[in-house]
Copies of this chain bind each other. A is one copy, B any other.
């Protein structure tokens, strides 16, 4: 029709070639969502397992994703350098849409006794990282964040259990470092932070298994809970993860 010219206003938002791409999705207003649905504090086992299972569905759908890292209400998907180039819009929207779809569909599997009382929603962004160093630093950034938040939240909710109101609990923690918070947990609550479940302390890592010789993507997904993407050891042992770039 004579109106078709308006299609020409669509912009081609191709992501720059040859970069690693991270798609990060994260829950919108999940503080409220968690409260409304009685999430356990600071970590709700069911909520985290649900996130992991939705993320797995994304890896199954998009075989260019080499790994994914999740904490709290967020998940980051790492798309290998050299993957078939996609419009940013389409990549982001299709990823977040499928994730959300799965989240609602799988909800009853993890929250048996709880109705979904409002519609959960996520936002998404795509970020380009040009080198292995920046990709590793990205993952390290998220894992350091996981650590900082989890130490803090663990203390916060222990103080609240003890009877402090939110404002006083915040005041007690304000300005303290993670190491001091760990000591507080140990001294005041007899909690050895490092003995808490690794999943809460480290986040959740999904890695696609590759058939080593041909670098063919495979649908086997490994799930790590106790791992450290900040140091070098993990990357030495799993060097294949970042080896699948077409342009090296």
The interface of chain A, by Cβ under 8 A from chain B, is: 1, 3-14, 16-19, 25, 28, 57, 81, 87-90, 92-94, 96-105, 116, 119-131, 133-134, 137-138, 140-141, 144-145, 148, 247-248
Additional A-B contacts beyond A9-B138, A93-B96 (17; CB < 8 A):
A6-B137, A8-B17, A9-B18, A9-B127, A10-B125, A12-B14, A16-B19, A18-B129, A18-B134, A89-B92, A92-B93, A93-B124, A94-B122, A97-B123, A104-B104, A130-B130, A131-B247
Which chain B residue has the least Cβ–Cβ distance from A144? B1
Copies in the complex: 4
Cβ–Cβ contact B133 & A247, under 8 A = yes
Given known A130-B130, A137-B5, contact A94–B81 (CB-CB < 8 A): no
- Subset of 24 A-B contacts with CB under 8 Å: A1-B140, A3-B138, A6-B127, A8-B17, A9-B16, A9-B127, A9-B129, A10-B127, A11-B14, A11-B128, A12-B12, A12-B14, A16-B19, A16-B128, A18-B134, A57-B119, A89-B124, A93-B125, A94-B122, A97-B122, A98-B121, A101-B104, A101-B119, A102-B119
